[in-house]
């Protein structure tokens, strides 16, 4: 999988911001202050995992369905899942999983915060 498009794709979503956790070399993506995704890179800045927050049941199903989806790398294994960047997942499948992760985080925001993002 080529993940060069992930940053642009995520930043086009409403209310998304990102930062760099420099000591881990993770680009982290937030909506309304809640992290929903991280692109984990090695010391050469080559991504090796995309870590995503998902509904626990959805994450379990994806891990059973795709060998390139594993429990969250350095994260809570119930709510977080990681996609192997060097795996065989199709970009469309990755987009769908990214969308679900965004939806989980957005859905956990207060109605007031959701409205601010949608109207912003």
Global confidence as pTM: 0.94
Write out pLDDT tens, residues 54-100.
999 999 999 999 999 999 988 888 899 999 999 999 999 999 999 99
φ, ψ of residue 16 in degrees (nearest 5): -85, 135
The two tokens of residue 69 are: 């989806």
φ, ψ of residue 84 in degrees (nearest 5): -75, 120
Task: Catalogue all structural domains in the chain, each as residue range(s) with its CATH number.
Answer: 6-119 (3.90.1150.30)
């Amino acid at each position: 999988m080529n993940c060069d498009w992930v940053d642009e794709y995520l930043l086009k979503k409403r209310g998304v911001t990102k930062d760099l956790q420099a000591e881990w070399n993770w680009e982290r993506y937030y909506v309304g202050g809640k992290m929903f995704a991280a692109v984990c890179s090695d010391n050469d800045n080559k991504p090796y995992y995309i870590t995503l927050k998902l509904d626990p049941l959805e994450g379990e199903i994806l891990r059973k369905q795709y060998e390139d989806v594993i429990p969250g790398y350095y994260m809570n294994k119930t709510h977080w899942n990681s996609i192997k960047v060097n795996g065989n997942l199709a970009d469309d499948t990755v987009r769908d999983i990214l969308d679900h992760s965004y939806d989980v985080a957005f859905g956990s925001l207060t109605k007031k915060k959701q409205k601010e993002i949608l109207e912003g």
